Amino acid sequence: MNDATPAVEIRDLHKHFGRLEVLKGISLTARPGDVVAVIGGSGSGKSTMLRCINMLETPSAGEIAIHGEAYAMRPTRDGGLEPADRRQLQRIRAQLGMVFQNFNLWPHRTVLGNVIEVPVQVLGMPRDEAVARARQVLDRVGLAEKEDAYPAHLSGGQQQRCAIARVLAVEPLAMLFDEPTSALDPELVGEVLNVIRDLAAEKRTMILVTHEMGFARDVASHVVYLKDGRIEEQGPPEQIFGDPRSPHLQQFIRSIA
Ligand code: ADP
Ligand code: MG
């Protein structure tokens, strides 16, 4: 393994829900330090693709490798796939931080409790060490004062920053963001985007589904436009936003601007 090993590699990913084919052969590589922005209309398969990367959804066909290690999969009776190695799944998943639209914090744990949960319970980190690291990452996202608060007592922006801290605490190989600001009141969007922007500047690998086109243009190293379960166009942000080729992409950008 070296720096050229992709952090995330997706090869010919297909996903069906019953008869509905939602992903129709997606191939995508994120190298260490890449910030891949995924854009596209509602229902185009963005969340499903992201959720396949950490196996929250099981691919129907195709291969996904995290830092060069492909998930072990086996065929199912209905012609699909399922994870074949639970321990591998848990180990790989623990190295992929996911940030959801609706924060998904554990409501009965404090901010600190949320951040130390995976390091202690899954990664086996001693509690003292996990707490020390949690305080560092909470400081990074501007939540140092809130470690004893419960999620219900935080603003949406604070909850999302806590979710980002929770991901940072595992030193992930890649961070997966699924529309991290879509559920926020407009005045809280900026504080979350600023945190993500700082992480991008540190060259952390991330795959970011977003409707914030200006932000994507600023931080992405690569932009992928999904349309009906396929990558219709991809390229550097200047090309995707400045000189889009596909008429669908041109229309999409106009519709969202
Ligand atoms: P996006 O995130 O781009 O809006 P999604 O990946 O959420 O799109 O959804 C893509 C398509 O898959 C949609 O038609 C959606 O209704 C369908 N879909 C997503 N999840 C499921 C599921 N668990 N069961 C059935 N259909 C689903
Ligand atoms: Mg979605």
Q: Whose CA is nearest to atom 6 of ligand 1?
A: 45
Kindly provide the ipTM of the predicted complex, given to two decimals: 0.98
207 Cα to the center of ligand 2, angstroms: 13
Which CATH number fits the domain that encloses residue 58? 3.40.50.300
Could you tell me the CA-to-CA distances from 58 to 13, 54, 82, 234, 238 in Å, in that order?
Answer: 10, 9, 6, 24, 33
- Taking alpha carbons only, the member of 121, 122, 154 closest to residue 138 is 154
Is residue 206 within 8 Å of 229, Cβ to Cβ? Answer: no
Task: DSSP for 185-247, please give it.
Answer: -HHHHHHHHHHHHHHHHTT--EEEE-S-HHHHHHH-SEEEEEETTEEEEEE-HHHHHHS--SH
pLDDT at residue 2 in the model: 53
Q: Whose CA is nearest to atom 23 of ligand 1?
A: 17
3-state secondary structure of 131: helix
Long-range (24+ apart) CB contacts under 8 A made by 100-103 are 100/163, 100/178, 100/180, 101/178, 101/179, 101/180, 101/182, 101/183, 102/183, 103/151, 103/156, 103/159, 103/160, 103/162, 103/163, 103/183
Ligand 1 pocket test: which of 15, 16, 17 has the largest number of ligand atoms within 8 Å of its C-beta?
17
Q: Whose CA is nearest to atom 5 of ligand 1?
A: 45
Domain for residue 31, yes or no? Answer: yes
35-76 confidence digits (pLDDT tens): 999 999 999 999 999 999 999 999 999 999 999 999 999 999
Count of structural domains within the chain: 1
Min mean pLDDT across 116-125, 154-163, 238-247 is at: 116-125
Q: Is 229 in the pocket of ligand 1 (CB under 6 A)?
A: no
Structural domain of residue 254, as residue ranges? Answer: 1-85+210-257
Domain for residue 66, yes or no? Answer: yes
Domain for residue 256, yes or no? Answer: yes
Q: Which ligand is nearest to the CA of 252?
A: 1
pTM (2 decimals)?
A: 0.95
Domain for residue 132, yes or no? Answer: no
Q: Whose CA is nearest to atom 20 of ligand 1?
A: 48
Q: Which ligand is nearest to the CA of 58?
A: 1
Domain for residue 163, yes or no? Answer: no
20 Cα to the center of ligand 1, angstroms: 9
Confidence of residue 185 (pLDDT cuts 50, 70, 90): very high
Q: Which ligand is nearest to the CA of 49?
A: 1
Confidence of residue 167 (pLDDT cuts 50, 70, 90): very high
